[in-house]
Amino acid sequence: MTRGLFRYDVTACETKVIPGNLGFVAQLNEGRHLKKRPTEFRVDRVLQPFDPAKFNFTKVGQEEVLFQFENSGGDDSYFLNNAPIIAVDRAPNVIAINVSPIEYGHVLLIPRVLDRLPQRIDPESFLLALQMAAEGGSPYFRLGYNSLGAFATINHLHFQAYYLSVPFPVEKAATHKIPLSEDTKKNGVTVSKLINYPVRGLVFEGGNTLDDLATVVSNACIWLQDNNVPYNVLISDCGKRVFLFPQCYAEKQALGEVSQELLDTQVNPAVWEISGHMVLKRRMDYEEASETSAWKLLAEVSLSEERFEEVKAYIFSAAGLVQYDEEEEEASDGEGPTAYVPVKVTPLPVAEGCLVLP
């Protein structure tokens, strides 16, 4: 920040928790949409080839790169203050600052940056993102992913991450556990459906290893992107929970199905907004922000119940998941799937994010 690398001072942005059951977080960031890099590709195709002529992360200045992030090959984590980046056999994974931040520590994880991969998830890159969440070791450090068509603005494979020192509303939302077959359960991954939340989504948790969780979720994402379904992903709980949101807001915009009132807010609901961190661009929207207004916007992002169930069935097939009939499950164990409400997170002894007003 002192070197002038950011486009604005995010610490000067007003932030508050909106009163209500879920505690949506609102931030007033009036300059971000004016200073943020514009989208340079079609928004109606989730998969598009990498275009070296357009902005990509190989054009980022070295001063924006914080460090390389690689598997050590052992059980220990360590930091080398100085080490050469050798790309003879493999391009490096790098962590760079986000020059248009929306919170404290807002960074980009760019897998194999010199390989110029387009914005599409694969098992290896998604495992890397889970490993970053695990190494972060803080419940307030989350990673997010936006596909093309779901408000990614750069077609070069990357994840975002930052600290927010309160729970995201989606982390507090109740879930309904989906009963799975015994064979499906062997990898230790459980799947739940969000309930009483404005955007329909799936929650993947657990796994015998991070690789188990990465394989299931990445297979789900691969089906979505191969079938041109835009989606967003939130990685929380140090890599132990993953929220997957198929969405259709850009499609509704193109069809003229979004009200002018919502369009006037200029909010593009990507992973952070969908998860409950509302980045607002007009003071009037910030001052009048309510749980009702947040819910109204996010409800436009969600697939219909019928479409969501259809997509869920395809996702399950692609991820190798077999759902039990809930009535059979209840008859076999005497009780049905339970709704999970997370325990309140205990604040850390030191501040890890921008101050949030009560």
Q: Which residues are catalytic, by number?
A: 158
- CB-count exposure of residue 275 (10 Å: 0-12, 13-18, 19+): buried
The residue type found at 176 is: H
DSSP track, 192-213: EEE-SSSS--EEEEE-SSHHHH
Q: Classify residue 16 by burial, with Cβ atoms within 10 Å: 0-12, 13-18, 19+.
A: middle
Q: Residue 15 in contact with residue 162, Cβ under 8 Å?
A: no
Exposure letters 115-128 (e unless 16+ CB within 10 A, then b): ebbbbbbbbebbbb
CA-based nearest residue to 94, from 74, 115, 77, 108: 108
Element holding 17 (H helix, E strand): strand 15-17
